[in-house]
Chain A
Amino acid sequence: DVKVTQSSRYLVKRTGEKVFLECVQDMDHENMFWYRQDPGLGLRLIYFSYDVKMKEKGDIPEGYSVSREKKERFSLILESASTNQTSMYLCASSPRTGPSLTEAFFGQGTRLTVV
Chain B
Amino acid sequence: QKEVEQNSGPLSVPEGAIASLNCTYSDRGSQSFFWYRQYSGKSPELIMSIYSNGDKEDGRFTAQLNKASQYVSLLIRDSQPSDSATYLCAVFQYSSASKIIFGSGTRLSIRP
Taking beta carbons and an 8 Å cutoff, which residues of A are in contact with B? 31, 33, 35, 40-45, 48, 50, 56, 58, 90, 92, 94, 96, 99-109
B43 touches A101 (CB 8 A): no
A to B CB contacts below 8 Å, 12 in the list = A40-B8, A40-B104, A42-B102, A43-B88, A48-B97, A48-B99, A50-B98, A90-B43, A90-B44, A100-B51, A104-B100, A105-B46
Q: Once A and B bind, how many residue pairs between them come within 8 Å at the CB atom?
A: 62
Chain B residues bordering chain A, tally (CB within 8 A): 24
A50-B98, A105-B46 known; A42 vs B31 contact (CB < 8 Å):
no
A101 touches B92 (CB 8 A): yes
A103 touches B46 (CB 8 A): yes
**Which residues of the partner chain B approach A94 to less than 8 Å between Cβ atoms?**
100
**Which residues of the partner chain A approach B43 to less than 8 Å between Cβ atoms?**
90, 106-109
In the complex, what distance in Å separates the CA atom of A58 from the CA atom of B99?
Answer: 8
In the complex, what distance in Å separates the CA atom of A58 from the CA atom of B32?
Answer: 18
Name the one of A35, A90, A101, A106 contacting B32, with C-beta atoms under 8 angstroms.
A101
**Which residues of the partner chain B approach A35 to less than 8 Å between Cβ atoms?**
102
**Which residues of the partner chain A approach B45 to less than 8 Å between Cβ atoms?**
106
Name the one of A56, A104, A109 contacting B90, with C-beta atoms under 8 angstroms.
A104
B49 touches A102 (CB 8 A): yes
* A64–chain B nearest beta-carbon distance, Å: 15
A33 touches B100 (CB 8 A): yes
* A27–chain B nearest beta-carbon distance, Å: 14
B100 touches A42 (CB 8 A): no
Name the one of B42, B88, B100, B102 contacting A101, with C-beta atoms under 8 angstroms.
B100
In the complex, what distance in Å separates the CA atom of A48 from the CA atom of B97?
Answer: 9
**Which residues of the partner chain A approach B102 to less than 8 Å between Cβ atoms?**
35, 42-45
Closest 7 A/B residue pairs (Cβ):
A42-B104, A43-B102, A106-B43, A56-B97, A101-B92, A103-B46, A109-B43
For window 31-58 of B, CB contacts with A under 8 Å fall at: 31-32, 34, 42-46, 49, 51
B103 touches A42 (CB 8 A): yes
**Which residues of the partner chain A approach B44 to less than 8 Å between Cβ atoms?**
43, 90, 106
Which B residue's beta carbon lies closest to that of A44? B102
